[in-house]
Amino acid sequence: MERKKELKQAYKEVKIESGIYTITNKQNGKKFVASTRNFKTLNGTKFTLENGMHTNKELQEEWNQYGKEAFEMEQVEVLKMPENQFLNEKKELEKLLDQWMDKLQPYGGKGYHTKKASE
């Protein structure tokens, strides 16, 4: 019983990191770029792809076509949150995601995204 308490406490002390990740198709170089509030949830993203339930239909189709071995999932940047200062994590992640979208331009033949009408 004591071990269970120790494990629970250790879990609570694990730092949750948020940031930007990519899923790259190694066959054609196309990228999917997204943000997460917890990098540990990337296993859930893999699960949705492996079970044909990902919301990005084009990414899902190519995952089904090429198989999971053809894809690489990578954390590209961890969101740095100052310790003594309150920042809106969601807004900061959106800004960071916009920067990576501008940098990688994952549209058309380069990725799985569509440009917004305002761009």
In a domain? residue 116: no
In a domain? residue 6: no
Would you state the torsion angle of the CA atoms of residues 93, 106, 103, 25, taken in this order, to the nearest 10 degrees? 90
Instruction: State the pLDDT at residue 100.
Output: 97
Sheet of 31-36, strand order: 31-36, 19-25, 71-78
Q: Is the dihedral of CA 93, 21, 32, 56 positive or negative?
A: negative
Q: Which residues of the chain have pLDDT under 70?
A: 10-14, 84-85, 117-119
For residue range 54-68, what is the model confidence (pLDDT) as tens digits? 999 999 999 999 999
Domain, as residue range, for 42: 18-110
Instruction: State the pLDDT at residue 85.
Output: 66
Task: Say which CATH number the domain at 56 has.
Answer: 3.40.1440.10
In the chain, the number of structural domains is 1
Instruction: State the pLDDT at residue 16.
Output: 81
Residue 40 near residue 23, CB atoms below 8 Å: no
Instruction: State the pLDDT at residue 119.
Output: 47
In a domain? residue 40: yes
